[in-house]
Structure 1
Amino acid sequence: MAFSKVLVAFDGSELSTKALNTALAYCRENQAQLEVLHVVNFQNFVVGEAMVAFPVPLQKEIQDNAEKLMAKAEAQMEGLPGSRVVLRQGSPAAAILDHAEENQCDLIIIGSRGFGAFRSFMLGSVSNHVVQNSQIPVLVIK
C-alpha cells in the first residue's frame, strides 16, 4: 500500500528526528507529500486553588525555538514537491489528529517518546492517544 500524503509529528527529540528521517525516506522513494507538524502547548497550571497562566516571555522563547526547529526540518525537505512544515498551538494529540483529518493525510508517523522524563511521559501519552484515536494508519518509531 502506497501512501500519498504523510504527516510526521516533530519536536526535535531523537525519536521524532528518526520519525522525520523515516518519513523523508518514504516520501522520496514513493513521491509522496510530507507534512511536518510541530505543536506548541501553552497550558495553564493549577497551583492550589489558583490558575497560573504560562508566562508570556517563556511563550515567546518557546515559539522562537519552535520556528527554528521547523526551519531545520524544512531545509531537509528540499526536493519534495507539495511538502510543508506546520506549526500549531494546542493539545498535541488533538492537533495531530485534527491536522491529519483536515489535510487528508493517509499516514501518521510519530516517535514513541519525546524530550526528557516529563516530556517523554507526555509524548508517550500523545503517541498512545494518536494510535488509539486515529482513523488512518499510524507508524510509531522507537
Structure 2
Amino acid sequence: MAQYKNIIVPTDGSVNSKRAVEHAVIIAQASKAAVTLVYVANIVSVISNFDHIPNSSGYVTEQVAMDMEKEGKAVLADFAKNIPDNIEVNSVFEVGSPGPAILSVAKKNNADLIVMGSRGLGPIKGLFMGSVSSYVVTHSTCPVMIVK
C-alpha cells in the first residue's frame, strides 16, 4: 500500500467535499498523513456577475473579496474541527482559478494525494461549465481520488 504523508483536500462546503474529507481522514489515519484543507475563492467569476453595477471606487470588488475570504475561512474552520486530533491539519485560503490554485497548493506542499469531491454535474453540464475535478485529474502530478 502506498504511504501518504500529505493529503490535499479542496473544500467548498458542499456535501461532496465533506465526503472527500471523510475519505481523506480514513486514509490519513492509516498512513499517519497530514491533511491540508484548501478553499479557493474564484473572485473573477463572482465579480463578472456585477457587470451592471458602477464600480468606480472599487468598493464592490473589495467588499466581495472580503466576504469571500470570510466565507472561505469559515468553511475551512468548520471542516478542520471535524478532523480527529491525532491528524495534523493545515488550512489554506487561496484566491484564483480553482483548478490551477489547487495544483499550486499541492505542489508547494509536496502532496502525495489529492482527495476531492465531484460536483456531480454529469458529462453534458461538465462539458459546458468546465470541471475543477477534471482539470485536477488531468494536470496533477500526484494521484487524485474523486469522491461522489
TM-score range, shorter chain: 0.7 to 0.9
| Alpha-carbon separation, structure 2, partners of 1:86 and 1:112 | 20
Find out whether 1:45 has 2:52 as its counterpart.
Answer: no
Decide which of 96, 106, 113 is 2:112's aligned counterpart: 106
**Cα deviation 1:40-62 (Å, max 9, x = unaligned):** 111042859xx997633232222
Q: How many residues align?
A: 136
Q: Residue 141 of structure 1 corresponds to which residue in structure 2?
A: 147
Matched with 1:32 is 33
1:135 partner letter: T
Distance between the aligned counterparts of 1:10 and 1:97, measured in 2? 14
TM-score (norm 1): 0.82
- 1:11-90 matches, within 5 Å, as 11-43=12-44, 44-45=47-48, 55-77=61-83, 78-81=85-88, 83-90=89-96
3-state SS of 2:43 partner: coil
How many percent identity over aligned positions?
27
**Greater alpha carbon shift after TM alignment, 57-66 vs 128-137:** 57-66
Q: Which runs of 5+ in 1 are unaligned?
A: none
**CA spacing shift, 1:123–1:8, aligned 2, 3 Å:** farther
Letter in 2 for 1:3: Y
Q: CA RMSD in A?
A: 2.9
Q: Following the alignment from structure 1 to structure 2, what is the Cα–Cα distance between the partners of residues 74 and 131?
A: 24
Greater C-alpha Rg: 2
**Could you say which structure has the higher strand fraction?**
1
Give 1:134's aligned amino acid.
Answer: S
